[in-house]
Amino acid sequence: MNEQQQLNYHRIAEAIQYIHTHFREQPTLEELASKVHISPFHFQRLFHEWVGTTPKKFLQYISIEHAKKLLKAQQASLFETAFETGLSGTGRLHDLFVKIEGMSPAEYKNEGQNLLINYRFAESPFGKVLVASSPRGVCEMAFEEDETKARQNLQQKFPRASFQQQSDDFQQKALSIFEQDWQALPQIKLHLKGTAFQLKVWEALLKIPMGRLSTYGAVAREIGQAQASRAVGTAIGHNPVAFLIPCHRVIQATGHFGGYMWGETRKTAIIGWEMVRTNP
């Protein structure tokens, strides 16, 4: 990403944050453009380039009332698998192509000893992302602009592993998830370090359809532990694989989007990005 692209990305991020905090005021195109110090015409074009829709439509999709309607409409189980195909195949949800393989108790305990982990940095619609993989699948995917910090966080999770900055097929398949046409996606394998409870929660997240939202309580009920919504929230907060395991689709029961490990602005952007692709 060159200097101009970085500037444009931060302008759009700033606009998204403003929309998220001022949606009740229904800001106009002119107001949004003035916040990022460019003309309305330029802002409209730039926003559509980065987000895939107009500022007005994005504002509609991220409003609290829309979130509540989505929650109310989700009468079916999170494990419903009959998804509509939609236009251009974008309704074929990528979750169907993701398979989790948990680390064995011994692997979990030894903190990655004798494990070789490849990692690389790439650009996504939501900023720079680090993706790392073991010989059995993707073990980490995180949004982080600071590459040094991203490497340090990865090494802290696997303190006894060996690392090399190298691309591989697991990573390529994972990054293909950001493409708009998902009809030909291969199965993406994840090799995750987590407790049995965490893996159960993460598997449940994979079943939340794109363009739909759920709550912590609903996920708790789906895994058969209705009283464990707080523990579910903790497990979601430890999700090691951004976007592929869609923890961004879980919001508060009030309809507020709530926190996100990789930033509330990014969570808002992802939710809006998915909604405009499943509600043409």
What is the residue-level pLDDT of the chain in tens, covering all 280 positions? 567 777 888 888 889 889 888 888 889 999 999 999 999 999 999 998 888 788 998 888 888 877 887 777 765 444 443 333 332 333 334 445 688 888 888 888 888 888 999 999 998 888 899 999 999 999 999 999 999 999 999 999 999 999 999 999 999 999 988 875 555 567 889 999 999 999 999 999 988 888 889 999 999 999 999 999 999 999 999 999 999 999 999 999 888 888 999 999 899 988 888 887 776 5
Q: Note if the pTM is more than 0.95.
A: no
Strand order in the sheet with 98-102: 98-102, 188-192, 137-143, 127-134, 116-124, 162-165
Domain with CATH 1.10.10.10 in the chain: 68-278
- C-alpha closest to that of 270 among 33, 40, 75, 61: 61
Torsion of CA 199, 97, 237, 209, to 10 degrees: -110
Alpha helices, DSSP H, located in the chain? 3-22, 29-35, 40-51, 55-61, 64-73, 105-109, 147-157, 169-175, 196-205, 216-222, 229-237, 264-278
- Which CATH architecture describes the domain 68-278? Orthogonal Bundle (1.10)
Return d(Cα 110, Cα 114) in angstroms, integer.
9
- Which CATH architecture describes the domain 3-61? Orthogonal Bundle (1.10)
Structure tokens at 231: 């523990």
Residue 114, burial from CB neighbour count under 10 angstroms (0-12, 13-18, 19+): exposed
State the catalytic residue, choosing from 93, 236, 247, 271. 247
Q: Please say if 247 is a catalytic residue.
A: yes
Domain with CATH 1.10.10.60 in the chain: 3-61
**DSSP code of residue 241:** B
Return d(Cα 258, Cα 264) in angstroms, integer.
7
